[in-house]
Amino acid sequence: MSDNKAILEGPASNIHGASFTSNPETMAYATTDIALGTKAPDFALLDTITGKLFSLRDVAGTKATVVMFSCNQCPYVLHVLDKVTVVAKAYQQKGVGFVAISSNDAATHPQDGPEHMKALAQQYGFTFPYLYDQTQQVARTYQALCTPEFFVFDANLNLAYHGQFDSSRPKSDIPVTGEDLTMVLDALLQGKQPSGEQQPAVGCSIKWKYPY
């Protein structure tokens, strides 16, 4: 995927080609555009719920596919997770595939390890796999930077949207609706081309292994 910039609170730095700057008030990353039409990279990762390996083809839907980079403890994830599960269940019935992937380093953040991932998935009633990217290679290939971060691919697994679930944030007065994600999915389900507008995802940085 093409270079992807992010904005973070703190000193400027670099993660696998992505630059960012900082803002001391929120400590949140904000992604920017990735080229639409990019093919979805394949993967083979362990599902922490079932203990089985899943590839991209295993999770892909006939109409569209949503790949969500997530984790267990980020407040930005937990803020939207109830609604994510509702949206996923509704759109899975329409031919949309969903998958969540956690790439956080469990050595430094043990609460993001596979056992805790399974417990979270059961707590929220996930109807989709919750995959563990232990090597972080999948996150790097997708150029994911934060959680939650959404990638929507069309029926041919070409990128149709990359960014936020909606504009709601923890402690904000904006309700969680998932409107940015569902507008793209609705367009794809109707055989229409999404607008192409990408709304940057804002959330916690992926907890990278060191050295990169």
In CATH, the number for domain 34-205 is 3.40.30.10
Average pLDDT of the segment spanning 174-203: 96
Cα(79)–Cα(171) distance, integer angstroms: 9
Region 188-198: mean pLDDT is 94
Reported as a single tens digit per residue, the pLDDT across 108-127 is: 999 999 999 999 999 999 99
Mean pLDDT of 141-148: 96
pLDDT band at 22 (very low <50, low <70, confident <90, very high): very low
40: left (phi over 0), alpha (psi -120 to 50) or beta: beta
User: What's the whole-model pTM score?
Assistant: 0.88
How does pLDDT run across 43-85, given as a tens digit for each residue?
Answer: 999 999 999 999 999 999 999 999 999 999 999 999 999 999 9
Each domain of the chain, given as residue ranges in start order, spans 34-205
Element counts in the chain: helices (H) and strands (E): 5, 13
pLDDT-based confidence at 212, cuts 50/70/90? Answer: low
pLDDT at site 113: 97
Least confident range from 101-105, 122-126, 194-198: namely 194-198
Average pLDDT over the chain reads 88
What's the token pair of residue 62?
């006939």
% the chain with pLDDT above 90: 82
- The stretch 3-15 carries a mean pLDDT of 31
Q: Over 50: is that where the pLDDT of 105 sits?
A: yes
Cβ-based neighbours of 149, under 8 Å, separated by 6 or more: 31, 68, 69, 162, 163, 201, 203
Model pLDDT, residue 144: 96
